[in-house]
Amino acid sequence: MRTGLIAKKLGMTRFFDAEGQHVPVTVLSLDGCQVVAQKTKARDGYVALQLGAGTRKAKNTSNAERVRFAKAQVEPKAILTEFRVSEDALIDVGAEFTADHFVEGQRVDIQGITIGKGFQGGMKRWNFGGLRATHGVSVSHRSLGSTGQRQDPGRTFKGKKMAGHMGDERVTTQNLKVVGTDPALGIVMVKGAVPGHEGSYVLIKDAVKRALPKDAPFPASLKAKAEAAE
């Protein structure tokens, strides 16, 4: 089981495939994605890699985090997360990933925080139809209607779809297709939309419902030490 990667969502554009078909794509940048720490079965009880991406000013980093980054010989990162991996997929601390970690045509799962919409009504939040536009309905055309019952049980059940806070939640979109990568620029292009606003960080992982392509690098595609030093 390979590690996933952290990427920054740059936005959407379009891509023309070999047949000239127009394909909408989301452009993701790796933004200096590196291994910050290893979790081992003997020491931590599970096997994982802690990855970091982006940059953070030293003044905005706590002293404990500075010590941790210094030990790993890695610059302070804007975001940290862990990916569970198999023991044969552990990677040295400080290693930096390249975009060809994912191959063209591969399916991936992408997790991100959706755009917050604030407090919304039932029509926008749950696609309710609303009340009638005539026959005695006035003012409340976009209201929910009845939410409970009569005497028995005489209450509104928990979990009822109602108006409330919408968006700003962690969502995973599965089986998105990788249509291209640019290792030099550290860019991965994925067909379709990805959760999150422009500039937000997302997690890209091998699709759990599809087999890993045979030409996908294992355990990962990494920058050479000379390139990383530059």
pLDDT higher than 50, residue 182:
yes
Q: Are 68 and 62 in contact (CB under 8 A)?
A: no
Report the mean per-residue pLDDT for the chain. 91
Calpha distance 97→6 (Å, rounded): 10
Q: Residue 30: its pLDDT value, please?
A: 92
Total count of residues recorded for the chain? 230
User: Which one-letter amino acid corresponds to residue 9?
Assistant: K
> Higher confidence at residue 124 or residue 229?
124
Q: Is the dihedral of CA 131, 133, 136, 140 positive or negative?
A: positive
Q: Cα(207)–Cα(70) distance, rounded to whole angstroms? A: 33
Which of these ranges, 27-41, 55-69, 193-207, has the smallest mean pLDDT? 55-69
Q: What percent of the chain has pLDDT over 90?
A: 69
Q: Which residues make beta-bridge pairs with 118? A: 166
- Percent of the chain at pLDDT > 70 equals 97
SS3 content of the chain, % helix, strand, coil (to 5): 15, 35, 50
How far is it, in rounded angstroms, from Cα 207 to Cα 108?
A: 4
d(C-alpha 169, C-alpha 229), whole Å: 37
Instruction: Measure the CA–CA gap between 179 and 187, rounded to whole angstroms.
Output: 11
Query: Each residue of 95-146: pLDDT tens digit?
Result: 999 999 999 999 999 999 999 999 999 999 999 999 999 999 999 999 999 8
User: How far is CA 56 from each of CA 36, 63, 74, 201, rounded to the nearest angstrom?
Assistant: 14, 13, 11, 14
Over 44-76, what HEC string results?
Answer: HCCCEEEEEECCCCHHHCCHHHHHHHHHHCCCC
59 or 109, higher pLDDT: 109
In the three-class reduction of DSSP (H, G, I as helix; E, B as strand; rest coil), residue 226 is classed as helix
Please name each of the domains of the chain with its CATH number: 5-116+169-229 (2.40.30.10), 117-166 (no CATH)
Q: Who wins on pLDDT, 15 or 109?
A: 109
**Cβ-contact 175, 210 below 8 angstroms:** yes
Instruction: Answer whether residue 228 shows pLDDT above 80.
Output: no
| Confidence at residue 226, expressed as pLDDT on a 0 to 100 scale | 46
Confidence category of residue 49, pLDDT binned at 50, 70, 90: very high
Most confident of 5-19, 63-77, 160-174: 160-174
Q: Residue range 72-83: average pLDDT?
A: 90
Q: Reply yes or no on whether the pLDDT at 84 is more than 90.
A: yes
